[in-house]
Structure formats: C-alpha cells, structure tokens
A and B are shown apart, each in its own frame.
Chain A
Amino acid sequence: MKYHELEMRAVYGETLNELIAANPNVMCLEADLSKASGTNPKVAAAYPANFVNVGVSEANMIGIAAGLAAEGKIPFCATFTCFAGRRVYDQVTISVAYANLNVKIVGTAPGITAGPNGGTHMCFQDLAIMRAMPNLHVYSPCDAYELRAVMRHMAACRQPTYMQLIRQRVGAIFDETCRFDPGRAVVLRPGAAVTLVSTGYMTHFALPVARDLAAAGIDVELLHYPSVKPFDVASLVRSAQKTGRVVSVENQSVIGGLGGAVCEVLAEHCPVPVRRLGVPDQFGEVASEPYLMEKHGFGPRHIAEACRRAVAGA
C-alpha cells in the first residue's frame, strides 16, 4: 500500500486496526475528535469493542487510559496537541508518567498544522513540556512509514509515550522498510559543513533544503530525530564534532523543544555555535502554514539562510 498517498490520520487509523488485529489489548480512545484523528469510522467500525469515545473530556480520557493500562490494555489516546499536551498535563504527569502506566498519548495537528483553528488550538510547547517529564518518551514521526514503525514500537513496548501526529498528507521520506529505534537519529543526508537537525513535520522542509544546498556546494548533514526523548546524544555530538556548527528547526517554540535538547547536549558535550529555528516566544494565530513560517522565520528559505550563515561563520 502507498501509505504516503493517504492522509497521516488515515494511516494512524489503519495502523491502529492492524495493531488491534495483532493484539486485542490495543485500544483506541478518543475525546470527541475521532473523525479528526482518523479513527472514526475506520477503527470504530472495525473494532467497536476496542474503540472508546469519552466525549469532550480529555482529562477523563487520560485517567481512563491509565486504568485500562493498569489492567494490561494498551490505550492510544488521541486529541489535538493543545489538549493532549497542555490541557491534561497533570493527568499525564500523575496518572500516566508518575504511575508509570503503559498509555500512549497522541497529539494531533501539531504546531502550525493546526492553522485554521488558530491561536487557541496551536500548541508550540508540547515537545518541550512532555520532554521535561520523567518516564515519558516523546516521538514525532515525519511520514506515514515512520508513523507506522513508531506505532508498532509503541504497541510492543511497555512505555508511557507521547507522540505528535501530523494529520494531513505529507508525502514520503521513508518507505515500507522504515524501522524505528527511539535511541537513534536518522542521517537523512551525510555531510561535513553544517549539521541540520529536524524532527516531525519540519523534516519535509529540511530535506529538500539540504539537497539544494548540497547542489550549491554546501555540504549539509541532516539528522532527523523521530524521538526527541530519549535523545540520541552520540549522533549529534559525532556530527557536531565533524561540522562544528549546528542549525535546528522544528514546528514548535524554540524554547525547550528539539532546539532546547540540541543546546543541552552540545553545551555539555561539544560546544559549537547553534542557531535554533522555530516559533519564537509567541502564541499562534489563525493563518496558513507558509504565512506562519515566513512570519516566524523557520520556512525553507530561513533554513537555507541559517545553514549558509553558519558555514560562513556569520
């Protein structure tokens, strides 16, 4: 199947069905956004007993998931990132991470991909706040094939996890052979002049930039991090030791997310100049993705410019 031709949410629903078929303990929890998550009717119709819609009560969804997980179920709970990340932070903290229960929290429409819903629904800090929580893994797969690999890993491992889910169709970076290891970054393009680090949605923009720059003689090494926590320290340090300069880009605030992780690692292990691209310390607004990337300076031309300046030492 050409999963990259589907919307990512359709892939989420399809993959959940496969996981449920393989293990009936896998469950799909929703809080009245099941159509937005791609699980209704796909999962709801195929596995009604495994599908639980709790209504508009995200906190309750996380608590129910914790109770299910305590009994050996493997609940995947989806809602918009603004709710999955911000609204239920204490429920995730105590009932999931502190209690160390096997709950999978799925934040849909991350960052600027929440566009039409505007500033209230645009969450730029979920990677940062979830990364700061003990016991929790934090993933942001970039395409349909990596999403499927990540979900298979989530279902197989007894590990409280937060995952960003891009909802729209995004095209292919990987293929069916994609494998996911939370301890490993993926070198999408080897290079020696500058290290470019991306995760999730922004990898779709970083990869063509890296290729274009290479064609123009700037040898970019692109590291894609499907797991922001655990964070593959060794790959970043090895790359930074080689290139001596690092640019990060994310569909998040520059405070505390991927760029934060990059700076923490490099400050301790390999202090080199870093430029973080993403949303500055601001809220979102209702707008198109190109508008927001342009406004906040983390679109393709900004990535290219940051790499050029890094190489030029400017």
Chain B
Amino acid sequence: MQDFDQARFDRLAAEYRYVITDMICRAGSGHLGGALSLVEIVITLYERVLRVDPQRPAWPERDRLVLSKGHGAPVLYLALAYHGFFPKAWLKTLNADGTRLPSHADARVVPGIDMTTGSLGQGLSAACGMALAARLNGQSHRVFCIIGDGESNEGQIWEAALFASHHRLDNLIAICDCNRLQIDGFTDDVLSLEPLADKWRAFGWETLEMNGHDWDDIHTTLQRAVALAGKPRMVIAHTVKGKGNRAIENKPESHNIKVPDQATYDRFMQALAVRDVTLPY
C-alpha cells in the first residue's frame, strides 16, 4: 500500500487519462467516457485498498475485483500494467488484431482480471458467487465489484442485489460508477434510477455515497465500506463521464468515441487537462 501523496496521485490520474485517451484513439474507437469516470476510483483501489500481488495474479487470498461494466476495461488495464501484471507495451495493442487487451474485461487472457464481463448486468451475480465461495472456503479476502448506473437498468443487477442481501454477503463491496449518462443519453431521461441510494438500502445493502473524483472521499468511504459488517455494501460514486477530457466531459457521445483521422485524434488529445505526459509504450 502506498502512502497518499496528493501531488503524485494527481499526476498519476492525469497520466492515466492521457494514456487511456491515447489507447482508445489509437484503436480508432472505444469506450472512453466510462473509463475516464473511474480513474480516481481505480487508482485508489490499486494503490490503497486492494490486496493483490502482480507476481501471483491467481493468488488464492487476493482481493477480487469484478468490473461488471466491462466496457470500462481500459482503465483497469492501465492499473494492471502500472502495477506490473503485464508489460506496459501491451497497452498500445488495445483492440488491435490478435491483442491480449480486448475492449471488454477478459479474465481468459489478461493477468489480474478476475471475471470476464461485457454483457451488462452479469458481473454482480458473478461477484456474489465469488463472495459465497470465499465464505464457503473460509477465506478472508474481499470481493469488489464495479457496476454502472446505466447498467443498473438491467434486472439481473437487482436479482443479484436480493441474493447478496439474503445471504448477508458482507465480504462483497460494490461500487456504482454513477456518471449519470448511458449510451442514449442522461439516465434521468432514459430510465430514472433515483432515488438510487434508497433503492439499495431497501434491497438490504449498507449504502454509502462519495465523490468519485475526490481522493480523500474515495479512500475514506471505501475504508468505511470495508469496515462495515453484516451486509453487502454499495458505494454510490458520483462521477463525471469523460472526466478530464473537455471534448467529451459529461456528454452522451462520450460513451463510445470514433477516431477516424489524425485531426480527431489531435482534438481528443488536446482536450485533456494535462498534456505533458510521456506515453509508457
């Protein structure tokens, strides 16, 4: 676990955003908005919360992380590469022919990914199964699961919510990346979720909320969530889709950008708040 150094973390977040934008632009298209909204959360998880070992990606006692919103995979790939799970050179192969880094999180080919996801709504059920297995095995690791607010339209999320609550899976900590946007527009316009926190509480989950871009709030809230017992936990993270890239920030078109030419590439790269970043590949 790294000590917190705000300047270092700010720099890291800027670097993540720069590299993720480059990876996706290089690939020609991709889910940029929902990766950028998770940058501070994923950095905090890997720097300060998760017990994982890059030398032993299948270490039985590691904490699990299921990215149920599997299209956010680029940010996870970055964290895994930066923590030594695989060479940073892989990052530039996102979505390329024959790549080991496909658009959606893939446990079959990516060291450090715990569950293959991509069809929305399914990862939280898998996380429930993992949490149940840990309990049956007498293991003490935690299972983290990141879902999206748009993803929460899926009925299976709520099936899993009932299950986790019924079985009191208190080794399960879910985070909802609540960036208020889904493919077709703002969640409030497409399918209202509010009052979202009340819904999770009604489903029997300890429910916390945090600013998903505030280092202190993220760390404090996740620590509180981890420390609670007796119920599964839901941390609703208020985030901004496309955070840090002015070309797409809080815009519906941030979900899946198209980058057909150099001019578009330049536009997305120049829209980043920090640009003096050296690519790690």
**Interface membership of A224, Cβ < 8 A:** no
In the bound complex, do residue B125 and residue A60 qualify as a contact, i.e. CB atoms below 8 Å apart? yes
**Interface membership of B119, Cβ < 8 A:** yes
Contacts of A75 in B (CB 8 A): 129
Q: Measured between C-beta atoms, what is the minimum distance from B203 to chain A in Å?
A: 13
Residue of B126, B156, B159 most packed against chain A (CB within 10 A) = B126
Contacts of B159 in A (CB 8 A): 54, 57, 59-60
In the bound complex, do residue B160 and residue A60 qualify as a contact, i.e. CB atoms below 8 Å apart? yes
Q: Measured between C-beta atoms, what is the minimum distance from B111 to chain A in Å?
A: 15
Binding site for A on B (CB under 8 A): 66, 107-108, 114-119, 121-134, 136-137, 155-156, 159-160, 162-163, 166
In the bound complex, do residue A63 and residue B133 qualify as a contact, i.e. CB atoms below 8 Å apart? no
Check A71/B116 contact, CB under 8 A, given A59-B159, A99-B108: no
One of B116, B121, B126, B136 near A64 (C-beta < 8 A): B126
Check A71/B133 contact, CB under 8 A, given A62-B125, A66-B125: yes
A66 to B137, CA, bound (A): 16
Q: Measured between C-beta atoms, what is the minimum distance from A34 to chain B in Å?
A: 15
A-B contact pairs, 27 of them (CB 8 A): A54-B163, A57-B156, A57-B159, A59-B125, A63-B156, A63-B160, A64-B125, A64-B132, A65-B129, A66-B115, A67-B66, A67-B125, A68-B130, A68-B132, A68-B133, A70-B107, A70-B133, A71-B133, A71-B137, A73-B133, A73-B136, A91-B156, A94-B122, A95-B125, A95-B126, A98-B116, A99-B115
Contacts of A68 in B (CB 8 A): 129-130, 132-133
In the bound complex, do residue B134 and residue A64 qualify as a contact, i.e. CB atoms below 8 Å apart? no
In the bound complex, do residue B119 and residue A94 qualify as a contact, i.e. CB atoms below 8 Å apart? yes
Contacts of A99 in B (CB 8 A): 107-108, 115-116
Q: Measured between C-beta atoms, what is the minimum distance from B125 to chain A in Å?
A: 2
Q: Measured between C-beta atoms, what is the minimum distance from A53 to chain B in Å?
A: 10
Assuming A60-B128, A63-B160, A67-B132, what are 17 further A-B pairs, CB within 8 angstroms?
A: A54-B163, A60-B125, A60-B156, A63-B122, A63-B124, A63-B129, A64-B125, A68-B129, A70-B107, A70-B115, A71-B130, A90-B119, A91-B156, A94-B119, A95-B126, A98-B116, A99-B116
In the bound complex, do residue A70 and residue B122 qualify as a contact, i.e. CB atoms below 8 Å apart? no
A69 to B123, CA, bound (A): 13
**Interface membership of A234, Cβ < 8 A:** no
One of B122, B134, B136, B155 near A95 (C-beta < 8 A): B122
**Interface membership of A258, Cβ < 8 A:** no
Q: Measured between C-beta atoms, what is the minimum distance from A89 to chain B in Å?
A: 11
A52 to B118, CA, bound (A): 26
**Interface membership of A251, Cβ < 8 A:** no
Which range holds the interface residue count of chain A?
Answer: 20 to 34
Q: Measured between C-beta atoms, what is the minimum distance from A276 to chain B in Å?
A: 33
In the bound complex, do residue B119 and residue A66 qualify as a contact, i.e. CB atoms below 8 Å apart? no
Contacts of A46 in B (CB 8 A): none
**Interface membership of A272, Cβ < 8 A:** no
A70 to B125, CA, bound (A): 12
Check A63/B128 contact, CB under 8 A, given A55-B163, A98-B116, A99-B116: yes
A62 to B116, CA, bound (A): 14
**Interface membership of A178, Cβ < 8 A:** no
Q: Measured between C-beta atoms, what is the minimum distance from A25 to chain B in Å?
A: 9
In the bound complex, do residue B134 and residue A71 qualify as a contact, i.e. CB atoms below 8 Å apart? yes
**Interface membership of A49, Cβ < 8 A:** yes
A231 to B137, CA, bound (A): 37
Residue of A57, A66, A70, A90 most packed against chain B (CB within 10 A) = A70
**Interface membership of A72, Cβ < 8 A:** yes
A66 to B163, CA, bound (A): 15
B121 nearest CB neighbor, chain A only: A59
In the bound complex, do residue A64 and residue B137 qualify as a contact, i.e. CB atoms below 8 Å apart? no
In the bound complex, do residue B115 and residue A67 qualify as a contact, i.e. CB atoms below 8 Å apart? yes
Q: Measured between C-beta atoms, what is the minimum distance from B128 to chain A in Å?
A: 5
A70 to B159, CA, bound (A): 20
Q: Measured between C-beta atoms, what is the minimum distance from A128 to chain B in Å?
A: 21
A67 to B134, CA, bound (A): 10
**Interface membership of A161, Cβ < 8 A:** no
Contacts of A71 in B (CB 8 A): 129-130, 133-134, 137
**Interface membership of A100, Cβ < 8 A:** yes
A238 to B248, CA, bound (A): 63
